[in-house]
Structure 1
Amino acid sequence: MRNTIEQLVDGLAGNVIIGGVLDLADEHLRLGDADFVAELAAAVHARYGAGEKGTEHHYLFSLLLWRLATTHRRDAIAHALRLGFADLSPTKQPERRAAAVLAANQSPRDLAQVFVPGEAAHGDAPDELRACLVHELVLRRATPPPEAAHWAANSPFWQGHPLAWLPWSLSPLEGTPRLTRYWLGGGGNGIAYGLPEGRELPNDPAPVPAVRANDLDFALTTAVDRWDGRHNGRVEAGIHVTDAPVDADALHPMLASLPLDCLDGLTGARNLAVVATTPAEAWRQLFAAASTGGGGEDTWWYGAHGRLAAWRSLAALAGAPGDATAAEVERRVATCAWYGFRAWTDWFNCDLWDLGLATLSPDRTRLTVLAATDYNGG
């Protein structure tokens, strides 16, 4: 095998055609021989390094690691991590990406080795990968292995980690999250934006109570923080306290009456759509916004941190205390009225990534609004 690998690597010098090498790697993986692909990747790296980004040698090394990470084999996990899969990535969050890819393609039983000192995959796995892996598995309705729970119970890193706040199972509110799919040939995800599902509210003129106070909770924008500051990204959030309860059928004119930048220049009632929706729909949009929305993969937060960000924004929209547990947030969320809105104004890009959510507190005197927009155009 070594002679074959040396011959293959020698033949790559000055060669930009790598399809035959990948076909050979795929054939070995079909035969259960992950060792060959790992040794080939190591030899390519030893001879050419990771290659300059965008070159064929860089591309080949990355594809060989990707094949190992997406092949359903225990030894392939250890090989991929040993070769740097948790460090080499087109994204700014390589550990998060690695956790998402591994959770999507490997069984919890095979991933247990990542959490056990002395196992082949442990030493090459950073703690951030382990932390993310827990909730990437949860998001896929897979129970993290007992080894993960043991690691968490004894890890100072986990004890101080923000992800430790999240429950180790999905709540009914989270449903079945829409996740990026990863396979041998790459990955892909669907867009989960636009107006959430729900009953459209009337846009007839109606009396609205006066706003007696305005406030801001910075946690509101957690799910869309990374949208802000991009060349096309804008975020707006605020809490508006009224001197009388807001009737649900008056919510459309109430929103239109607020001094919101996102609704500035609204030319008519038909250019604002408002629906009564559910906390589950709101969480779905917030999770999509946090995990994969607002730009290319190089800035994604991925599933685990996207889940946490969605909960943080959901809690702020519901007016839950900052130190509330997940169970307390869920109870608070259930007492609020939830709405989605979409507006055709110059503020919104009216492209793939437009988000508008609003909530009314149980006494209907606290109206909280979160809006965001972005797109990948010029």
Structure 2
Amino acid sequence: MSHNQVTPGDNASDRPLWERSGSELKHLAELRPEELYEAAEQLCRRVSGEGTGGASVARAVGRIAEALADTRSRDCATFAVDIVGRLLPPEATDRGEADRLPRSVAAKLVKAQHLRDLEPLFGELPDGMQGPAVELRACLLGELALIGSGAGRRTLDAYAERLRELGHPLARLPRTRLDIEHRFTVRVRGLGPIKTSKQLRSRFPEVPSTDSGTVAGRGAGDTRDDERAKAAARPFTAGGWACEPEARFFTLPSPLGPDDFGISFIKELPLQCLAGEGRRGSALACATTPDDVLNELFSAAYNGGVNGQGQGGAYARLHAWDSLYALMGLPADVPFLEAVRGAADHRWLRFMAFTDWFHHDTSDVAFAVLDPTRTRVTVLAATDTDVDCDVLG
């Protein structure tokens, strides 16, 4: 291959690789993966040697890696991992791309490749958890867990255990998909974001208002916890939802009545998202379940905001669990199955309001959680829009 050639194959287009369509790169990956790998290698040498055009070269190399990852063969899998984990200079990518590319390539590998062709990638255990090679493999294990694959394989189990020893954040997740996660990545036709009160009522049972709920809400005390609020909001902030979520915690002087956890109670809390409630419609609350809440948290991070970026399955799962733990006020060392059992003892609400805070044009999510003592309440609300919303109403 000549010094200036970055277009593999005698019959390939004369356009440089970064201008090729995804279908063209996929075609090259299917027919001549070695040449595509060599082109990526040349591009990486160029950015390392000249130090110019790093961002555009990194994007081009990333597209090559994704095309190879999405093409079923052991060679393509090996090439894709080597490009991301070894060839691409870290200084050529910004933080966003450095996070995105390993997650994207991992997801494509798990979707396209046979497990037997991925298993050899885990033969060498890492000395540390820094670097794209380790990060890519951690994401691969996370994506495999989401499809219920990989557990029980000696090399994969050994690598996962090493990541746990090193303290990699993904390593604390279960190696198998839990039943409560059954809706992750599943899209049901007709069940998109809930934007109207009619949609909410059609899917979940509405909780009636009570006068005693109103009285109890007025007596709730605001308990600030910035770290817990940050963890609760993480699926939305990581996914780049346009507006800052609201995560709040309240305590009650006495247990809330069994029938009083509803919208009449929530409306009395000093929430930004409910400021001016009633100007454009009535608020309502419906009973829901922990798996519904966990799925919404996962989807927020997995799909990303309208102007944000999806986080990949492994990290979306991590952010969802971190958020659920924060909603219940659980320490991070509580086992996942114990958290699932505890979630059943909480009461969970979805609520909707028609205020200036919510936009009702792309995605709105609002939850309230009552702990088993019925004296602690958590509220999490998030809204996404393609309209600039630095300051919420």
Deviation at 1:107, TM superposition (A): 2.7
- In structure 1, the partner of 2:180 is 173
Match of 1:366 in 2: 376
- Answer yes or no: is the 8 Å Cα contact 2:231–2:323 preserved in 1: yes
- Please, which of 96, 109, 115 is the counterpart of residue 103 of structure 2? 96
Q: Report the counterpart of residue 187 of structure 1 in structure 2.
A: none
Per-residue deviation, residues 313-345 of structure 1 (Å, max 9, x unmatched):
212323434431112211110111111111111
Instruction: Work out whether 1:152 is the aligned partner of 2:160.
Output: yes
Q: Secondary structure at the match of 1:199?
A: coil
Kindly report which structure 2 residues correspond to 1:296-307, keeping only aligned pairs within 5 A, or say none. Answer: 296-298=307-309, 300-307=310-317
Amino-acid identity (%): 28
Decide which moves more: 277-286 or 44-53.
Answer: 44-53
Q: Secondary structure of 1:141's match?
A: coil
Is structure 2 residue 324 aligned with structure 1 residue 314? yes
Shift of the alpha carbon at 1:149? 0.7
SS, match of residue 208 in structure 1:
helix
**Are residues 291 and 7 of structure 1, via their aligned partners in 2, closer, same or farther at CA, if it must alter by over 3 Å?**
closer
In the alignment, residue 307 of structure 1 is paired with which amino acid? R
Q: Secondary structure at the match of 1:283?
A: helix
Task: Select between 305-314 and 245-254 the one with higher mean Cα deviation.
Answer: 245-254
| Structure 2 letter corresponding to 1:106 | Q
Aligned-pair CA distance for 1:137: 1.1
CA distance in 1, matches of 2:103, 2:60: 22
Following the alignment from structure 2 to structure 1, what is the Cα–Cα distance between the partners of residues 178 and 18? 46
Deviations 1:273-315 (A, max 9, x none): 21101111000011112333335455x4322222122112212
- Alignment partners' CA distance in 2, 1:191 and 1:73: 35
Q: Displacement of 1:261 after TM fit?
A: 1.2
Which one of 152, 162, 170 corresponds to residue 169 of structure 2?
162
Amino acid at match of 1:178: T
For the Cα contact (< 8 Å) 1:135–1:304, is it kept in 2? Answer: yes
How many residues are treated as equivalent by the alignment? 361
Partner of 2:204: 198
CA shift for structure 1 position 44 = 5.1
Q: Which moved more, 1:237-246 or 1:131-140?
A: 237-246
SS in 2 for 1:306: helix
Equivalent in the alignment of 1:376:
386
Contact between 2:17 and 2:60, CA under 8 Å: does it hold in 1? no
The AA in structure 1 aligned to 2:118 is: L
Partner residue of 1:332? 342
- Counterparts in 2 of 1:61 and 1:200: CA distance versus 1, 3 Å: same
Q: Which amino acid aligns with 2:328?
A: A
DSSP 3-state at the match of 1:267: coil
CA distance in 1, matches of 2:332, 2:45: 50
- How far the C-alpha of 1:222 sits from its partner, in A, is 1.9
1:41 corresponds in structure 2 to 40
Give the TM-score of the pair, scaled to structure 1: 0.78
Quick one: which amino acid aligns to residue 225 of structure 1? R
Higher strand fraction (1 or 2): 1
| Equivalence for 2:134 | 127
Which stretch shifts more, 14-23 or 130-139?
14-23
2:249 maps to which of 238, 253, 258: 238
- Contact 2:8-2:36 at 8 Å conserved across structures: no
Q: Distance in 2 between matches of 1:147 and 1:35?
A: 27
Cα gap change, 1:158 to 1:250, in 2 (>3 Å):
closer
Q: Secondary structure at the match of 2:284?
A: strand
Q: In the aligned structure 2, how far is the partner of 1:242 from the partner of 1:269?
A: 33
Residue identity matched to 1:346: D
Give the distance between the partners of 2:314 and 2:263, measured in 1 at CA.
Answer: 34
Is the CA contact (8 Å cut-off) linking 2:6 and 2:39 kept in structure 1? no
How far the C-alpha of 1:13 sits from its partner, in A, is 11
Aligned to 2:75: 75
Q: Which amino acid aligns with 2:221?
A: A
User: Aligned partners of 2:141 and 2:296: how far apart in 1?
Assistant: 22
In structure 1, C-alpha distance between the alignment counterparts of 2:194 and 2:121, rounded to whole Å: 35
Match of 2:391 in 1: none
Distance 1:246 1:301, change over 3 A: farther
Q: Provide the C-alpha distance between the structure 2 equivalents of 1:21 and 1:309, rounded to a whole number of angstroms.
A: 33
Equivalent in the alignment of 1:342: 352
